[in-house]
Chain A
Amino acid sequence: MSEAICLTIGHLFPDLLNLYGDRGNLLALKNRLIWRGMEAEVVEITKDDPVELAKMDIVFLGGGSDREQRLVCERLRTMRQDFRSYVDEDGVLAAVCGGYQLLGSYYQLGEEKIPGLELLDIYTKTGEGRLIGNVVLESNFTGKKEMVVGFENHGGRTFTGEYEPFGSVICGYGNNAEDHKEGVLYRNVLGTYLHGPLLPKNPTIADELLRRALARKYGRAIALEPLDDTLEQEAHDYAVKRFSQK
């Protein structure tokens, strides 16, 4: 009898970095495995728990307020080497909003400079006013051009240099409201400002993360059977239709 296919998904600091319905993203990853008869173990890692990144197949780092981000920052810095190895070994890491900002070298918050994980050579600084609104992107993340929908709400402007973005902005502000890029891709790291139910409403993105994690864990491509995504598609298409025609 073959062993069940199972992924371990680590949710980092849900007690602190859990804004704007990040829970939806975890639910999407978990359920899209279970609906296919596979297994998922979601490990909620709070600020005081020990973390073994090496045991994770997908790591999710959510968003928090500036105050909360300061709190996790120190904790994250102690894990820098682990993160480095995890990313270099092609571990799948999805970082949203505040979590995305922490991937970089630093976050310049007025006078204060919050050091980041330094996993990527990107940086963030505050700008005038918050960038808030619905977003539509055109992304190549899955290997073919697709529309991605979401919502952004951030005071920080992130500058990603030469890295490939998660998508180009059709509607919304994106990383910094200047270069029409949104998010960042590097190996199996996905950083984005699109918070909340990104993965439920963009099931192909969720599946791509799962596909990469499965391939890494089992050393071979594991097919993901198609699911009934009617409701997903309706929610997705509604947003594309309404927000990309402005």
Chain B
Amino acid sequence: MNENHRFCTGRMIVNLNRFRLFLAVAACKIAIWGSKLLGKKGSSMPGQLALKIYPGVLRDLAAQVKREIIVVCGTNGKTTTNNLLYSFLASRGYSVVCNKVGANMLYGVCCAFAADASVFGKLDADFACMEVDEASCVKVFAHMKPNKMILTNLFRDQLDRYGEIDITVDYLKRALALVPDTELILNGDDPLVAQFGENTKRKCYYMGVDEDVGVSLNETKEGRFCVMCGERLEYEYYHYSQLGKFHCPSCGFARRALDFRVSGVSLCDGLEFQLEYQGHIVPFDVHYRGFYNIYNIVLSYAAAVLAAGEIPDYAGVLARYQPQIGRMEEFQIGKKIVLNLSKNPAGFNQAISTVGKDERPKDILIAINDNAQDGKDISWIWDVDFERMNGIGVRNFIVSGIRADDLALRMKYAGIEQERMTKAYGLKEAAQALASGGGEIGYALVNYTAVFRMQDILKELEKEAENLE
């Protein structure tokens, strides 16, 4: 009788949880629908609501993923990498859950699962690929254990939210301690990332660019001291920031042998390179700009082939892939205007590098906001090599955004003559100045909260220009 009683209670709990799961998923779906009606993008409320109704909602939904859960982490390139991974897996006919819009904290991850589940809490998914904010990993991994995790890079970003980069490393260490079986796919060129493969029994794969591509800049370096012993790292060559072929002369920490090895890189027109792994040699030829995209492409490709085997249509996936909002996104407003999200020194220096490779006379717009999502501290603009914008054929510089005054002063120090500089506080006014500048092409490099507004403005101006024709 006692046995029987316990059995009954157990079944009641199971049924109760099933009911709460149903309630949580249903509430989340209604909330998503509601916030869509209100025109809100990426609200965290639906996920929060679901977890409040049933704290086990994410755990129960994630447990239904048939094959693998793959998480993407890192300062720059998370969204691109995760969305490419989604596209690679989907091209094989798998059903994949993905937080495509980049809502990458606990509530956003939870919401992505609930949105794909049936209202009864049933999830039909072969894979889940989720980008997760570095600081949120600890919370997310308490609910779901990823099979694999991609780490793209670790740069200084949004300092006033996280303190310093060591704090980010610490968050990741604590998160990984929760999931000892998770395999890592690491950017082996980044010592701050590669450290997660040291002194661990877990399976780790390293990806890197195995030749000197000659893209390195004289930029402010972060993390160039050995994370193991504190000695100065030595480099055979740099790619950018702290990325390159490094080794520590004191303790022997060094870039590991590359499981996914990139070589033969050409940046002339788009990106061309070849990838060697596990006895395969695969050529890549894509229309994206920016050296850093090699990491996004290869890390996502590596995760896809490790999880699902060959991806026959990888080239088609890459050709069809629509870059995220403001990732070198193009508009026609009398001339070509290219919009790029740049939100930290590494991102800006890479963008300036890409712009510098364009030999046409050009106009450049830079906009910096300091809203909470951007990071309130804009001191890092002094770590960007704006000096390198001299001598690359720039006709007009437009500075804009909430901190246009700070940018203008920074540009003065970068040697940009005041006659070539326009301060436009409003983004629209700035976009118009960019379109009417004297160059053949215009580049708008803007940070996070400015990018959404700027995209709307450029679309609007594009439409107006079409109507005039």
Name A residues whose Cβ lies closer than 8 Å to a Cβ of B.
15-16, 18-24, 27-28, 31, 47-48, 65-68, 70-71, 130, 132-134, 151, 153, 155, 195-197, 200-201, 231-232, 234-235, 238
CB distance from B171 to the nearest CB of A (A): 14
CB distance from A75 to the nearest CB of B (A): 11
Q: Which residues of A have CB within 8 Å of B164?
A: 19, 65-66
14 contacts between A and B (CB under 8 A): A20-B377, A21-B381, A22-B382, A27-B413, A66-B164, A66-B166, A133-B160, A134-B376, A151-B378, A155-B163, A197-B381, A197-B409, A200-B413, A231-B418
Q: Name A25's closest neighbour in chain B (CB-CB).
A: B382
Q: Within the complex, which residue of B160, B405, B418 is in contact with A132, where a contact is CB–CB below 8 Å?
A: B160
Q: Name A19's closest neighbour in chain B (CB-CB).
A: B164
Contact A23 B409 (CB under 8 A): no
Contact B163 A197 (CB under 8 A): no
Q: Within the complex, which residue of B230, B412, B413 is in contact with A71, where a contact is CB–CB below 8 Å?
A: B230
Q: Which residues of A have CB within 8 Å of B92?
A: none
Interface flags for B395-421 (1: CB within 8 Å of A; 0: not) read 000000000011011101100001000
B199 at the interface (CB under 8 A from A): no
Q: Which residues of A have CB within 8 Å of B232?
A: 15, 47-48
Given known A-B contacts A23-B382, A23-B383, A231 and B160 have beta carbons under 8 A apart: no
Q: Which residues of A have CB within 8 Å of B378?
A: 151
B224 at the interface (CB under 8 A from A): yes
CA separation between A71 and B230, bound complex, in Å? 7
Given known A-B contacts A15-B232, A231-B405, A234-B408, A65 and B379 have beta carbons under 8 A apart: no
Contact A235 B163 (CB under 8 A): no
Given known A-B contacts A21-B383, A24-B382, A201 and B409 have beta carbons under 8 A apart: yes
Contact B413 A21 (CB under 8 A): no
Contact B230 A153 (CB under 8 A): no
Q: Name B221's closest neighbour in chain A (CB-CB).
A: A15
Q: Within the complex, which residue of A31, A48, A70, A151 is in contact with B377, where a contact is CB–CB below 8 Å?
A: A151
Contact A196 B382 (CB under 8 A): yes
CA separation between A21 and B382, bound complex, in Å? 5
CA separation between A79 and B412, bound complex, in Å? 36
Do most interface residues of chain A lie in helix, strand or loop, or is the interface mixed?
Answer: mixed
CA separation between A16 and B225, bound complex, in Å? 8
Given known A-B contacts A47-B232, A71-B225, A200-B413, A195 and B379 have beta carbons under 8 A apart: yes
Interface flags for B234-277 (1: CB within 8 Å of A; 0: not) read 00000000000000000000000000000000000000000000
CA separation between A18 and B382, bound complex, in Å? 11
Contact B160 A65 (CB under 8 A): no
Do most interface residues of chain B lie in helix, strand or loop, or is the interface mixed?
Answer: helix
Q: Within the complex, which residue of A31, A68, A71, A151 is in contact with B379, where a contact is CB–CB below 8 Å?
A: A151
CB distance from B247 to the nearest CB of A (A): 17
B380 at the interface (CB under 8 A from A): yes
Contact A235 B382 (CB under 8 A): no
CB distance from B291 to the nearest CB of A (A): 24
CA separation between A67 and B170, bound complex, in Å? 12
Interface flags for B220-233 (1: CB within 8 Å of A; 0: not) read 11001100001010
CB distance from A12 to the nearest CB of B (A): 16
B165 at the interface (CB under 8 A from A): yes
Contact B379 A18 (CB under 8 A): no
B317 at the interface (CB under 8 A from A): no
Q: Which residues of B have CB within 8 Å of A153?
A: 159-160, 163, 377
CA separation between A232 and B225, bound complex, in Å? 35
Q: Which residues of B have CB within 8 Å of A19?
A: 164
Q: Which residues of B have CB within 8 Å of A27?
A: 382, 413
CA separation between A30 and B333, bound complex, in Å? 41
CB distance from A197 to the nearest CB of B (A): 5
- Interfacial residues of chain B within 345-382, with CB under 8 A of chain A in the complex: 376-382
CA separation between A197 and B406, bound complex, in Å? 9
CB distance from B224 to the nearest CB of A (A): 7
Q: Within the complex, which residue of B163, B382, B418 is in contact with A130, where a contact is CB–CB below 8 Å?
A: B163
Q: Which residues of B have CB within 8 Å of A155?
A: 163
Contact A21 B225 (CB under 8 A): no
| Max count, chain B CB within 10 A of own CB: residue among A20, A151, A153 | A20
CA separation between A151 and B380, bound complex, in Å? 11
Not counting A21-B383, A67-B166, a sample of 11 additional A-B residue pairs whose C-beta atoms are within 8 angstroms of each other reads A19-B164, A20-B377, A27-B413, A47-B232, A71-B230, A155-B163, A196-B380, A197-B381, A231-B412, A232-B409, A238-B406
Given known A-B contacts A20-B159, A71-B230, A235-B405, A197 and B376 have beta carbons under 8 A apart: no
CB distance from A107 to the nearest CB of B (A): 15
> Which 10 A-B pairs rank lowest in CB-CB distance, beginning with the nearest?
A196-B379, A21-B382, A24-B382, A21-B379, A20-B379, A235-B405, A65-B164, A238-B405, A235-B409, A132-B160
Contact A231 B409 (CB under 8 A): yes
CA separation between A69 and B409, bound complex, in Å? 30
CB distance from B280 to the nearest CB of A (A): 40
Q: Which residues of B have CB within 8 Å of A235?
A: 405-406, 408-409
Q: Which residues of B have CB within 8 Å of A133?
A: 160, 376
Q: Name A237's closest neighbour in chain B (CB-CB).
A: B405
Contact B376 A65 (CB under 8 A): no
CA separation between A70 and B378, bound complex, in Å? 26
CB distance from A131 to the nearest CB of B (A): 10
